[in-house]
Amino acid sequence: MTFERLEDQIAWYDRKSALNQRRFKWTKAAQMIAAAAVSVVAAFDGPSFVPAILGAAVVVLEGFEQLNQYQQNWITYRSTCEALKHEKYLFLAGAGPYAARSDARRVLAERIEGLISQEHAKWTAAREERAEAEEDAAATKRPSHPGDRRPGEDRLDAPRDHGHVARLAAALIAIAAAAVLAAGCGGDESSALCEEVRTAQGAVDDIRSIEPGEGAAEDLRQSVATLRQSLSDMQAEAGEDLGPQIAAVRSSFSTLRQDAQSVASQGQVTAESVKDLAAPLGDAVTALQALGNAAPDCDL
């Protein structure tokens, strides 16, 4: 159960880190597009309401990013993911705090929960600091009074015939809106599939790195269980157009699982039995790479 918990948390933090990274970059890209459009419209002497709309879009996008803390979550989740991977490799190698200990799994469980608790504490502290900063800003903000404005400042310019500028501005706004939609809700299906492919690749790599010795059979069983779950998740996320690639992955995984389970059932993993897994492992890697290449926006 401890190792399953570790694998599950590594996959979760890896997936959420990638999701927040993508949303942060899309939101910032939309901000830059909207900000650049202000200068373009001004250069063409466009309608005064267009820069106002674009400026408001920049403010909204920045507020949206600050509200969801995409950059902070990206960094925090990635840091926790890498720390958990570090513990995993130390445990498998029997090194560091796990060297020559009969209670290595108990130590692993304690260190895993410690890392997760630290991440939760950082997340809570960051939220509280942001809330306090917003309260301070609201308290010190000087209210606006109608008398502070210059005469005529609240009037819109007279309508002018700038149809080409308006169309240009509308196109730029549409691009920015599309970027926001992509950041908020677009591309998640593809991303989820890509993350499942990465999880499966990690399980395959774990099998390839297994060394003969005590605990190797259990590690092999854990990796096989991860492969089984990853296959189920990939089938759920993949569209009909990826049917051939999913079928190839399913076939290669089936052979690999059977061979790995056969090795694990022997109780003692030997160098020869590990070598016997080389061919099905290669087929699984090839099938996963083909699936990743066929899936849209997958950068594996």
For the stretch 35-81, pLDDT in tens is 888 888 888 877 778 888 888 888 888 888 888 888 988 898 888 88
Lowest mean pLDDT of 24-28, 106-110, 228-232, 295-299, name the range.
295-299
Query: Is residue 14, in this structure, part of any structural domain at all?
Result: yes
DSSP-assigned letter for residue 186: T
Same domain, 168 and 224: no
What range does the domain containing 179 cover? 1-138+162-186
**Distance separating alpha carbons of residues 100 and 241, to the nearest angstrom:** 51
Task: Say yes or no: 16 and 130 in one domain.
Answer: yes
Query: Is residue 101 located within the same domain as residue 18?
Result: yes
pLDDT at res. 159:
46
Of 186, 219, 246, the domain-final residue? 186
Position with higher pLDDT, 86 vs 156: 86
Judge whether residue 162 has pLDDT over 80. Answer: no
Mean local confidence (pLDDT), 238-250: 83
Residue 81 belongs to a domain: yes
Query: Is the domain of 125 the same as that of 244?
Result: no
DSSP H helices, 209-277, are 216-237, 243-265, 271-275
Same domain, 14 and 126: yes
Question: Is 269:213 a contact under the CB 8 Å cutoff?
Answer: yes
Cβ–Cβ < 8 Å for 112, 87: yes
Q: Are residues 231 and 108 in the same domain?
A: no
Q: What is the largest CA-CA distance in the chain?
A: 89
In a domain, 51, yes or no: yes
Residue 109 domain-assigned? Answer: yes
Gap between the Cα atoms of 20 and 14, Å rounded: 10
Is 271 part of any domain?
A: yes
pLDDT of residue 178: 55
Query: The whole model's pTM is what?
Result: 0.50
Q: Are residues 167 and 28 in the same domain?
A: yes
The neighbour count for residue 295, using CB atoms within 10 Å, is 23
* 3-class secondary structure per residue, 84-126: HHHHHHHHHHCCHHHCCCCCHHHHHHHHHHHHHHHHHHHHHHH
Picking from 120, 154, 186, the residue at the C-terminal end of a domain is 186
Does one domain contain both 48 and 113? Answer: yes
* pLDDT tens readout for residues 90-137: 888 888 888 888 888 888 888 888 888 887 777 777 767 766 766 776
Q: At what angle do helices 216-237 and 2-43 cross, to 10 degrees?
A: 40
Task: Identify the CATH number of the domain in which residue 267 sits.
Answer: 1.20.1420.10
On whether residue 152 sits in a domain, the answer given is no
Q: Give pLDDT, residue 186.
A: 43
For residue 87, the model assigns a pLDDT of 87
Backbone angles phi and psi of 299, in degrees to 5: -115, 85
Do 32 and 176 fall into the same domain?
A: yes
The residue length of the chain stands at 300
What is the DSSP secondary-structure string of 221-233?
A: HHHHHHHHHHHHH
Same domain, 174 and 243: no
Same domain, 98 and 217: no
Average pLDDT (83-93) is 86
> For residue 67, what are its two tokens?
């509200």
Closest Cα to residue 49, out of 144, 150, 174, 160? 160
In the chain, % of residues over pLDDT 90:
2
Q: In the chain, pLDDT over 70 holds for what percent of residues?
A: 77
Number of Cβ within a 10 Å radius of residue 184: 14
Q: How many domains does the chain have?
A: 2
Please tell me whether residues 48 and 172 are part of one structural domain: yes
In this predicted model, what pLDDT tens digit does every residue of 167-226 receive, in sequence order?
A: 555 555 665 555 555 544 444 445 677 878 888 888 888 887 777 777 777 877 878 888
In a domain, 245, yes or no: yes
